[in-house]
Amino acid sequence: GAGVSQSPSNKVTEKGKDVELRCDPISGHTALYWYRQRLGQGLEFLIYFQGNSAPDKSGLPSDRFSAERTGESVSTLTIQRTQQEDSAVYLCASSLAIAGGENEQFFGPGTRLTVL
């Protein structure tokens, strides 16, 4: 079946503009995660959805970042007033979330965001 998909694959924007990144998880996966990877660094957790609720938003770096999920499916990560330090690859993952801490997370190909 289809894996996790993300769009766009690449996004170049000017500082101060807003961007929306989309994630389509694997059908039936109730858990969805956003991570980002800045150059030369590991993946940083941003936010976790269980269904349409976000019980853990602890990784969102500022109030310029927000995310929503609808229909227990598609999720959108929005970054307002982008800054150059927001440049990174944004990765989405989904899982069945059957048992805490042991679920395989399936990752999408990522969106590479470049803020000029």
Partner 1 sequence: GNSVTQMEGPVTLSEEAFLTINCTYTATGYPSLFWYVQYPGEGLQLLLKATKADDKGSNKGFEATYRKETTSFHLEKGSVQVSDSAVYFCALSNFGNEKLTFGTGTRLTIIP
**Which among 61, 66, 93 is positioned nearest to 79, based on CA atoms?**
66
Query: Taking CB under 8 A as the criterion, which residues in 76-115 touch partner 1?
Result: 91, 93, 95, 97, 100-110
For residues 68 and 70, what is the distance between their CA atoms, to the nearest angstrom? Answer: 7
Beta bridge partners of 24: 5
Kindly tell me which of 14 and 100 has the beta carbon lying closer to partner 1.
100
Provide the CA 110 distance to its chain's centre, in angstroms: 8
Interface residue with partner 1, options 31, 54, 60, 67 (CB under 8 A): 31
Q: How far is the CB of 70 from partner 1 (least distance, A)?
A: 20
Residue 45 within binding range of partner 1, rule CB under 8 A: yes
What are the residues whose beta carbons fall under 8 Å from the beta carbon of 18, sequence distance 6 or more?
A: 78, 79, 80, 81, 82
The owner of tokens 């853990």 is: 56
Residue 13 within binding range of partner 1, rule CB under 8 A: no
Cβ pair 79, 18 in contact under 8 A:
yes
Q: How far is the CB of 45 from partner 1 (least distance, A)?
A: 4
Residue 53 within binding range of partner 1, rule CB under 8 A: no
Residue 42 within binding range of partner 1, rule CB under 8 A: yes
* Binding positions for partner 1, rule: CB under 8 A: 3-4, 31, 33, 35, 40-45, 48, 50, 56, 59, 91, 93, 95, 97, 100-110
